[in-house]
């Protein structure tokens, strides 16, 4: 069994994610591409000791980039938007 921090990779810190955290109590994470909703829910609850109400996931396709005549591609990744129970917060993200 994978640990919680094998599933949760990094928080997504953008202006849109910050507004969702403040207004809707939703936290956005970059997660392991093989993880499913139930694994993500358990990982967040175990790692941060909060109650998760809902998990939305989406696959983000990497952009194709060019430098001169050579092309490359950014990696594909999976994003999870986790809705926390009213009153629960994750202290690490309160300072961002």
Paired tokens of 21: 């955290």
Rounded CA gap, 79 and 29, in Å?
A: 6
Residue 96: pLDDT band with limits 50, 70, 90: low
pLDDT digits 0-9 by tens, 10-59: 999 999 999 999 999 999 999 999 999 999 999 999 999 999 999 999 99
Does residue 91 surpass a pLDDT of 90? no
Helix (H) or strand (E) holding 71: strand 70-73
The pTM of this model reads 0.88
Q: Which residues are within 8 A (CB) of 26 and not within 5 positions of it... i.e. 6 or more apart?
A: 20, 81, 82, 83, 84
pLDDT digits 0-9 by tens, 69-89: 999 999 999 999 999 999 999
Rounded to an integer, the average pLDDT of 55-66 is: 97
Q: Which of 65, 75, 82, 78 is nearest to 24 (CA)?
A: 82
């Amino acid at each position: 069994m994978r640990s919680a921090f094998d599933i949760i990779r990094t928080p997504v810190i953008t202006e849109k994610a910050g507004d969702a955290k403040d207004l809707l109590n939703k936290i956005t994470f970059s997660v392991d591409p093989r993880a499913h909703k139930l694994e993500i829910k358990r990982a967040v609850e175990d790692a941060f000791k909060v109650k998760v109400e809902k998990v939305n996931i989406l696959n983000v396709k990497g952009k194709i980039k060019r430098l001169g005549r050579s092309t490359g591609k950014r990696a594909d990744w999976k994003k999870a938007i986790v809705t926390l129970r009213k009153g629960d917060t994750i202290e690490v993200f309160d300072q961002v």
